[in-house]
Amino acid sequence: MQSSRMRVLAYGFLGALSLVVLSSCGAGGTKNASSSQSQSTQTSTSAGTNALTGMPGVNGPVLFVKVDDTPPAHPQVGLNSADVVYIEQVEGGLTRLAAVFSNALPPKIGPVRSARISDIDLMAQYGHAALAFSGAQTLFLPVLDAANIEDVGADHEPSSIYSRDATRVAPTNMLVDPKALLDKSITVEGRKITTAQSVGWQFGSLPAGGTPITGVSLKWPSSRYEASWSVDQSRWLLSYMGKPDLDGDGIQLGSPTLVVQEVSITNSIYHDHLGNYTPFSNTVGSGTGYLLRDGREFPITWNRPTPSSPTTWTLANGSQAYFHPGQVWVALTDSQPTFTPVASATTSDPSSTNSK
């Protein structure tokens, strides 16, 4: 994918220039949170059907929140209210989440962590969306500033919006108040943030075919998710590292639509303070994957010609791969998933076996 490689090189060029300007901060450093401003209440405007979930709701301003996904960060907070959740690979083979909110805003979301290079392309299909995060690698900051992203990170906000949870341990203890954050950004400061619109997937009835499964295992070098189909709840129930993946309210996370998007994952020029390179997950171009819904898996193809283009999803026969209305989880991975098939019906009837 030539265009993807050229984008990475361009990001690297900007990053190299920024190193000269920001060398006093040190490579692999982060921004420091500062400043204090007032907050007020965020209100929604349009009603109807949310474009990201296909469910009744509003199409409010799009807010991405980077959420820690290491064991100390669990249970995470506010994810049950997200419209979309992406699982991304980060340094050391760990995962981090990019949670997208445009309809219901929970009181708090977190633990909030830093942004990564893959976020720029991932967010581009949503328009000029807002990004809530806590710092980024010094070399990467000018690249992030130049992107079509509204920076509403912790560096610019008061502790009344980005607060520390005394029951958690740093660095997995920062939570954000999304309503206060968006109200300050939009109502008080007059920032322009894109409202939710279609990013390519469509909602509809269960396609014909597919393979019945009871679950799936998704692996990254140092992280693992499982999903089990719940007939009673009509959704995939998630587990993280072998344990039920609970939200802060005690509800097991999961969704009616789980997408495995197979992408190329390569090292970028960025790295953490330990020297671990930041992986770049390429979500522009085309590739394969799987649509999981209604207890079935469907091989699919995804296509996204440019960063600002929506991502289209088609079945093997070229028809639309319809998602089930509701929250959507997308796993960005370069590893094949392992499916658990539905057990075949068996019988102990002696007449069903051959005998001599």
Within a domain: 299: yes
141 and 229 housed in the same domain = no
Burial class (CB in 10 A: 0-12, 13-18, 19+), 109: buried
Q: Indicate the helix (H) or strand (E) that contains 162.
A: strand 162-164
7 and 156 housed in the same domain = yes
The pLDDT assigned to 200 comes to: 98
15 and 143 housed in the same domain = yes
The pLDDT assigned to 31 comes to: 34
DSSP string, 15-62: HHHHHHHTGGG-TT-------------------SB-TTT-SBS---B-
Within a domain: 258: yes
DSSP string, 81-119: G-SEEEEEE-GGG-EEEEEEESS---S-BB-B----THH
Q: In Å, how far from its chain's centre is CA 99?
A: 5
94: nearest Cα among 304, 344, 244, 272: 272
Within a domain: 347: no
135 and 14 housed in the same domain = yes
6 and 126 housed in the same domain = yes
The pLDDT assigned to 16 comes to: 39
CA gap 290, 302 in Å, rounded: 9
CA gap 54, 48 in Å, rounded: 10
Among the three residues 138, 153, 188, which one is the final residue of a domain in this structure?
188
Q: How far apart are the first and last CA of the chain?
A: 61
177 and 219 housed in the same domain = no
15 and 142 housed in the same domain = yes
**pTM reported for the whole predicted model:** 0.85
Within a domain: 328: yes
What is the β-pairing status of strands 95-101 and 338-341? unpaired
107 and 240 housed in the same domain = no
- 257: containing domain: 211-341
CA distances 90 to 66, 95, 143, 211, Å, are 12, 5, 18, 31
The pLDDT assigned to 343 comes to: 87
183 and 220 housed in the same domain = no
Q: Indicate the helix (H) or strand (E) that contains 304.
A: strand 296-304
Give the number of domains in the chain. 2
126 and 237 housed in the same domain = no
Q: What is the mean pLDDT of each run of 10 residues along the chain (356 residues)?
A: 44 39 32 30 56 97 98 98 98 97 98 97 98 93 96 96 97 98 98 98 97 98 98 98 97 98 97 90 98 98 98 97 98 98 60 38
Within a domain: 129: yes
Q: What is the dihedral of CA 93, 288, 315, 2, to 10 degrees?
A: 130
The pLDDT assigned to 128 comes to: 98
The pLDDT assigned to 7 comes to: 52
Percentage helix, strand, coil, to 5, in the chain?
20, 35, 45
40: nearest Cα among 164, 189, 193, 194: 189
Q: Tokens 């140092």 belong to which residue?
A: 222
CA gap 84, 196 in Å, rounded: 11
Within a domain: 262: yes
The pLDDT assigned to 47 comes to: 56
Within a domain: 42: no
Which residues does residue 237 pair with via DSSP β-bridges, in sequence order? Answer: 228, 254
178 and 228 housed in the same domain = no
179 and 231 housed in the same domain = no
Q: 302-311 contacts: CB < 8 A, separation 24 or more?
A: 302/261, 304/125, 304/200, 306/3, 307/7, 307/120, 307/121, 307/124, 307/125, 308/124, 308/125, 308/148, 309/125, 309/200, 309/284, 310/125, 310/198, 310/199, 310/200, 311/125, 311/199, 311/200, 311/201, 311/283
Looking up residue 66, the CATH number of its domain turns out to be 3.50.90.10
Within a domain: 37: no
